[in-house]
Structure 1
Amino acid sequence: MNLFELNQAYRDLEERDDLDPEMLADTLDSINDTREIKLDNIAYWIEKNKATVEWATKKIKELQEAKKYMINQNSKLQEYMTQVLDDAGIKQLLTKNHILRTRNYKAKVVVDNLDKLPEEFKQTKTEVTADKKELYKVLKNGQEVPGVHLKLNRGTVIK
């Protein structure tokens, strides 16, 4: 394979989403290239993935904010329509495209001040989690703790 074909092999591999970790490793092993070139292409791939993750994270946040805005806006528009119909004493209104009817739903509970709420109406939730910082110290000092172990965490820095 020439250099162009080798680079294309890496780009083709990037496009595939059907490879499990073992198949990916086998496919990378099958590319006949020097270690330096192979690892350089993998580093490029990782950098590209990181950029895509950053973009997707930002896009998700923007979409969540837009969704929240529209949900709130719809709620306010719904309240406005109901108020207009109630003020006019109209139970049902036929428009060119819609049938609008006011309706009573189950009342919502609104807690204005949790501090003033009697204890009998308060709920306390507790969550049990592992103290990983303390566990790390204990395990690092050679002590054993049932149900937990240290796992080596190695990686390669890409600069």
Structure 2
Amino acid sequence: MNLFELNQAYRDLEERDDLDPEMLADTLDSINDTREIKLDNIATWIDQNKSQIEFSIKRIKELQNDKKTLINQTIKLQEYMTQVLDDAGIKTLQTKKHILRTRNYKASVVVDSLDKLPDEFKKVSTETKADKVRIFKILSTGQEIPGAHLKPNRGTVIK
């Protein structure tokens, strides 16, 4: 393979999202390239993935904020519309595009102070979690704990 074909092979792999880890490793192994060039291309691919991940995280936050803004705006607009109809004593209003009707929904419960609430109206929940810090300390001394083990964590730093 010439340099252009090798670069295209890496780009083709980047665009595929149907490869499981074993298939990806087999495909990378099949590319006839020196170890250094192959690993350099993989490191570049990882850098691109990390950039895309950062962009996606930022975009998700922006979209969540937009969603929250629209939800709050919609609630305020509905409250305003209901208030205008109530102030005018109108139960039903027909416009060119909509039929507006005020109605009563199930009342919402508002708890002003949990401390003042009698115990009979409080729910207590507990969550059971593993104490991973303590488990790590014990396992790292060579002791065994049923239901837990240390998993090696190796990686390569890309600079």
Q: How does 1:1-159 map to 2 (within 5 A)?
A: 1-159=1-159
> What is the letter of the counterpart of residue 87 of structure 1?
D
Aligned length: 159
Instruction: Tell me the SS of whatever aligns to 1:147.
Output: coil
Instruction: Tell me the SS of whatever aligns to 2:115.
Output: helix
| Structure 1 segments unaligned to the other structure (5+ residues) | none
| Structure 2 segments unaligned to the other structure (5+ residues) | none
Q: Percent identity?
A: 77
How far apart, CA to CA, are the structure 2 residues paired with 1:71 and 1:124?
31
Instruction: Tell me the SS of whatever aligns to 1:78.
Output: helix
Instruction: Tell me the SS of whatever aligns to 1:4.
Output: helix
Deviations 1:44-98 (A, max 9, x none): 0001000000000000001001101110110010000001001101010000100
How far apart, CA to CA, are the structure 2 residues paired with 1:46 and 1:125?
42
How far apart, CA to CA, are the structure 2 residues paired with 1:113 and 1:69?
27
Task: Tell me by how many angstroms 1:125 deviates.
Answer: 1.4
Deviations 1:94-137 (A, max 9, x none): 00100000011100001111111111111111111011011000
Task: Tell me by how many angstroms 1:16 deviates.
Answer: 0.6
Runs of 4+ with >2 A deviation: none
The alignment's C-alpha RMSD in Å is 0.6
Q: What is the TM-score with the length of structure 2 in the denominator?
A: 0.98
How far apart, CA to CA, are the structure 2 residues paired with 1:154 and 1:140?
16
Q: What is the TM-score with the length of structure 1 in the denominator?
A: 0.98
How far apart, CA to CA, are the structure 2 residues paired with 1:16 and 1:82?
52
> What is the letter of the counterpart of residue 134 of structure 1?
R
Instruction: Tell me the SS of whatever aligns to 1:93.
Output: strand
Task: Tell me by how many angstroms 1:4 deviates.
Answer: 1.3
